[in-house]
Amino acid sequence: MEIRPQITNEDLGKIVELFSQAISESIGDDQKINLDQNKVNIQFENALRQNLTIIQTPEEEIKGQQIKCQIEKMQQQAIRLQQQILGRKNAFVNTVRTMIDQYLDELIPDTPEIDIDQPIQFPPEVNELFTKLDEQIDSLEQQVKRSSMEKTINQLSPFIQSTMNFLNEYEKN
């Protein structure tokens, strides 16, 4: 592995400037030399960059470290802000949820709890109404059964009659 000499960016700029001045002084105002000095300067600088290792000056290094520290602080602050926003969002959601629950609780009337195991006591007049209602339900059930039976008999009546006629005819023969 080839070890390349180290140089700062500032020193590289000075070298390129000295090279450019040297060429300008050598050429002078001679019209016979057709040279694109700008192109030569760029090629010289590129050759130096390829063959040298560019390093930072101590000042640049310190400034770079300061910038890096500032970036890290900003990242930490961004994380804290994000956590605060998330915490406030969750608190807001919980507050709204609590408010909705309270509003719904206000809308729903309080009803006393009923013990299912304990029999319900009704006033005597309500018990009498239940008794009458039970009797009427029984009566209606019997009427429905009777009408259903009558309907079935009426539907089957022609069949029964034809069967009876067939049997009577069969006995005669």
E strand or H helix that includes residue 7? strand 6-8
Helix boundaries (H) for the chain: 9-27, 37-51, 58-107, 124-172
**pTM of the entire predicted model:** 0.38
Band of the pLDDT at 85, cuts 50, 70, 90?
very high
Question: What SS3 string covers 12-53?
Answer: HHHHHHHHHHHHHHHHCCCCCCCCCHHHHHHHHHHHHHHHCE
Gap between the Cα atoms of 58 and 8, Å rounded: 10
Q: Is the pLDDT of residue 83 over 90?
A: yes
Under 8 Å between Cβ of 8 and 57: yes
Comparing 11-15, 50-54, 89-93, 109-113, the range with the smallest average pLDDT is 109-113
Distances (CA, A) of 31 to 23, 25, 35, 68, 138: 14, 14, 10, 52, 133
Q: Which of the four pLDDT bands, split at 50, 70 and 90, describes residue 73?
A: very high
pLDDT of 95 > 70? The answer is: yes
**Residue 89 pLDDT exceeds 90:** yes
Q: CA 62, CA 145: separation in Å to the nearest integer? A: 104
Pair 83, 58: CB distance under 8 Å: no
pLDDT at position 31: 65
Q: What is the mean pLDDT of residues 123-143?
A: 91
The pLDDT value recorded for residue 1 is 65
Paired tokens of 40: 């030569």
